């Protein structure tokens, strides 16, 4: 499955926008989109057409990115954020630590069961 994210134009490295989220100060969120159209709509609504573009990721790449973002301090992954609602409505989020813990537990169980 393919997923999409926003990154800065003209950069060799993937540089996504970071949003401040949650109840605690300093909680950061990154975003992921389930379609290229939704990512492009966000860029347009934010007025970022000159500075940002849509990047495409396969599921394994998303996992790597989630781990990297978590290690750099991100708390949440926002799924299909809506720019107009970002400031005043709750968005669908994944708590990165919880998701990574679940994946680690699944891997551990598979390894211990000999799969």
φ/ψ of 49, rounded to 5, equals -55, -35
User: Is residue 29 classed as helix, strand or coil in its secondary structure?
Assistant: strand
Following CA atoms 81, 94, 50, 40 in sequence, which dihedral angle do they give, to the nearest 10 degrees? -50
Question: Closest by alpha carbon to 103, among 69, 74, 60, 71?
Answer: 60
pLDDT, position 3:
95
Delimit the domains of the chain by residue range. Answer: 2-112
Q: Among the residues of 1-115, which ranges form H helices?
A: 36-46, 59-71, 96-112
Does 90 have pLDDT greater than 90?
no
Give residue for tokens 């991100």: 74
pLDDT in tens, 8-67: 998 888 888 888 776 667 788 899 999 999 999 999 999 999 999 999 999 889 888 889
User: How far, in Å, CA of 82 to CA of 78, rounded?
Assistant: 10
User: How far, in Å, CA of 25 to CA of 64, rounded?
Assistant: 26
pLDDT, position 20:
77
pLDDT, position 22:
64
pTM: 0.82
Fold of 2-112: Trna Endonuclease; Chain: A, domain 1 (3.40.1350)
């Amino acid at each position: 499955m393919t997923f999409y994210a926003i990154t800065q134009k003209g950069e060799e490295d993937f540089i996504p926008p970071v949003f401040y989220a949650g109840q605690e100060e300093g909680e950061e969120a990154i975003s992921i989109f389930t379609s290229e159209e939704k990512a492009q709509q966000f860029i347009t609504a934010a007025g970022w057409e000159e500075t940002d573009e849509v990047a495409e990721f396969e599921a394994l790449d998303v996992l790597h990115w989630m781990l990297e973002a978590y290690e750099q301090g991100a708390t949440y992954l926002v799924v299909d954020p809506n720019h107009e609602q970002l400031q005043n409505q709750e968005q669908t989020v994944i708590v990165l630590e919880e998701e990574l813990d679940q994946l680690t537990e699944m891997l551990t169980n598979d390894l211990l069961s000999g799969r």
